[in-house]
Structure 1
């Protein structure tokens, strides 16, 4: 009996010893991992930020729930697919025959004809810029003028031959040619979005103006700077009388007006501000009204970051691949209509998120045509222009 008890104790000790040893090793590993994590956080916090953010208290975003022109509806929810040949049709324009033209992010520009009943036919490739064509507009001669993010200001003749009109201004490169409009005298007004040369979350976090509004004179073939210090210069549109030109400042939720005629010529002011999202392209309809695509509704984290430079500078240290999700478009399609005086007439929504990442809204022949950019839904869509 005593011997049996002793053997029992020894047996128990033999079983418990490995368990305690395993537990000790797990604890040591856990402490080591914690130490590495803490050290990594300390190093991350001590590494200098690539930016020095400017503090900005963004205005409170308009509500979609309250009565008024921003009130949510489903006007875009019934959108019809026109073509899915271009994945991301940034901008949309029409030629004199009523054929639709749009570019894709891979450099290709497509032409979409319509039958006698107005039904879209199969898309045809018109040209390939080997860049990223954003803005498109036909000039008086019938050539397609293009602002290409990678190549600058281009002209494409009806046979698809491409010529570079401008890729420099004042001895500097045109960093990111984005959108354009053409005056009756042939002058081309276009945006140079940012001297960052690409769309990056760091620029949002920095909250400093790096964009410009440019003008190309086809007679002298010279490009000049009209405005600089813009917060992500984007869409461009002339007024019906061409007494001013608008440029969207996406990162400050506003449209800026630059006066071309009258007592204010050569000066600028705010046309409309505190928009419900990031304004992208601007088009003008036959009534002189402006249509604006809203790429994404307001992102509360971004607004909070603007008021906290430490948070902004810390976020800018993260790899861009991790930050892209923070600025991805909300799955809420949105476009707006403005009067020639800047009054918000109404907004068009798709709260279901089937159509989102809206860059362009073009009123043409009884329809509102919608374009999008990478991050949003795919293909050209349209909805009937019923109010």
Structure 2
């Protein structure tokens, strides 16, 4: 049977069909581009939630040049002490040598050691129902805790919790972070930010919102020693208790507040231009200060501080989309400082098996390492050279 001839109209329809499809695709693409462009214009026109302050950040120390910041592998191949706490922000020890650390879910763990120094299984000591960060035992055997959500707490040996302070001068303690305890029982602790939480907006804004506080156990009163700190973090007293240090994470420095002598009540910079964001500070028997560096310097952040427009624009981006920007670099770092604030040496893990370091504690021949959410998990330790 012969093929039925195709009409001229049908032929044109078949030939022109791909052209019409191509035009439809182009229209869709152009429409999408118009929507995206409109979204960008609206995003740029919306006012920023912050008014950033310009800061020309100093160039950070180089890990490649010879000197105490030179990269090494001293933090590599650590021994796992316990993985019960995923984010052991701070580490302390009781008089019997048991290790205590908190986790972001509110639990505080204790870890004993056998006769050979091997860690035993972790046990839950208490649950603050908050977020315990700083921990230190007082002279009476109570565990004093700075809890991000609940303030300054005291936990007796049986695990009973008492709130010591959650206000100062009639205002909330917004974000109790770290602490140290003087021989007279006075508790020095940081109130990180009146934002009440860790937020990228505060970093972008580059304005000081933190405080250093003091709690007097005799009067049960809390006072403000210092205001205007750039993300107040770790706290540590000197061996003679003539000054107290507080880390200003967002300005890469440690600030010293004098407690005694002719400089009493004044401040100065103890250590500046650190190679990253300083977190917690501990002091060893030699009077040296060990500083956990949560993350090494982030070039984009330094660039953002130089451009208030860029900082203000970034503050408009939803926090969920910026989670990667605040994640720690996978480079473990700890700084050891002399009693005068000079860098003695740095400890690195450039491979990033141990990173997001918040705490380094020199105890009984080992360096114990704690971390925060976003970093490696569990408590680790490394044998110190004799």
**TM-score normalised over the length of structure 2:** 0.98
Q: Is 1:133 the equivalent of 2:144?
A: no
Report the equivalent of 1:212. 211
Q: Does residue 1:144 correspond to 2:146, yes or no?
A: no
- Native 8 Å contact 1:299 1:327 kept in 2: no
1:269 aligned partner: 268
Asked if the contact 1:331/1:356 (under 8 Å) is kept, the reply is yes
What does 1:301-316 align with in structure 2 at a 5 Å threshold? 301-316=300-315
Shift of residue 8 of structure 1? Answer: 8.1
Name the CA distance, whole Å, in 1 between partners of 2:193 and 2:158: 32
Matches within 5 A, 1:230-249: 230-249=229-248
Give the corresponding residue for 2:286: 287
**Within 2, Cα distance between the matches of 1:66 and 1:31?**
52
Contact 1:192–1:214 (Cα < 8 Å) also in 2: yes
| Alignment partner, residue 318 of structure 1 | 317
In the other structure, the counterpart of 1:165 is 164
Matched, 1:77 2:76: yes
The 3-state SS of whatever aligns with 2:189 is strand
Once the two structures are superposed, what CA deviation does each residue of 1:260-308 show, in whole Å capped at 9, x if it has no partner? Answer: 0000000000001000000000000000000000000000000000000
Aligned pair count? 383
Q: For residue 115 of structure 1, what is the aligned residue in structure 2?
A: 114
Q: Tell me what 1:174 maps to.
A: 173
1:16 aligns with 2:15: yes
Q: Which residue of structure 2 aligns with residue 97 of structure 1?
A: 96
1:379 corresponds in structure 2 to 378
Q: What's the secondary structure of 2:51's corresponding residue?
A: coil
Q: CA deviation at 1:27?
A: 1.2
- Distance in 1, Cα, partners of 2:180 & 2:174: 18
Q: CA deviation at 1:220?
A: 0.3
Q: Distance in 1 between matches of 2:376 and 2:163?
A: 31
- Residue 86 of structure 2 is aligned to residue 87 of structure 1: yes
* 1:343 and 2:342 aligned: yes
**TM-score, scaled to structure 1:** 0.97
Q: What do you get for the CA RMSD once the two structures are aligned? A: 1.2
The whole-number CA distance in structure 2 between the counterparts of 1:371 and 1:61 is 24
Q: CA deviation at 1:367?
A: 0.2
State how far apart, in whole Å, the 1-side matches of 2:11 and 2:366 are: 83
Counterpart Cα distance in 2 of 1:260 and 1:176: 24
Secondary structure of the residue aligned to 1:42 is helix
- Whole-angstrom CA distance in 2 between matches of 1:248 and 1:58: 17
TM-superposed deviation, 1:9: 6.0
The reply on whether 1:195 has 2:194 as its aligned counterpart is yes
1:29 match: 28
SS at match of 2:274: coil
Measured in 2, the distance between the counterparts of 1:109 and 1:296 equals 24
Find the aligned partners of 2:287 and 2:294 in 1 and give their Cα distance.
22
1:47 corresponds to:
46
What whole-Å deviation, never above 9, does each CA across 1:312-335 have from its counterpart, x for those lacking one? 000000100011211210000000
Alpha-carbon deviation of 1:12? 4.3
- Give 1:17 deviation, angstroms: 1.8
CA distance in 1, matches of 2:15, 2:89: 68
1:39-96 superposed Cα distances (whole Å, 9 cap, x missing partner): 1001000101000000001100100000000000000102100000000000000000
- Cα offset, 1:14, TM superposition: 2.6
CA distance in 2, matches of 1:269, 1:184: 23
What 5-or-longer segments of structure 1 have no aligned partner?
Answer: none
What CA distance in whole angstroms lies between the structure 2 residues aligned with 1:241 and 1:193?
25
Aligned to 2:295: 296
Q: Is the 8 A contact 1:189 1:236 kept in 2?
A: yes
Structure 2 unaligned segments of length 5 or more: list them. none
Which residue matches 2:153? 154
C-alpha distance in structure 2 between counterparts of 1:196 and 1:284, whole Å: 29
Runs of 4+ in 1 over 6 A off after TM superposition: none
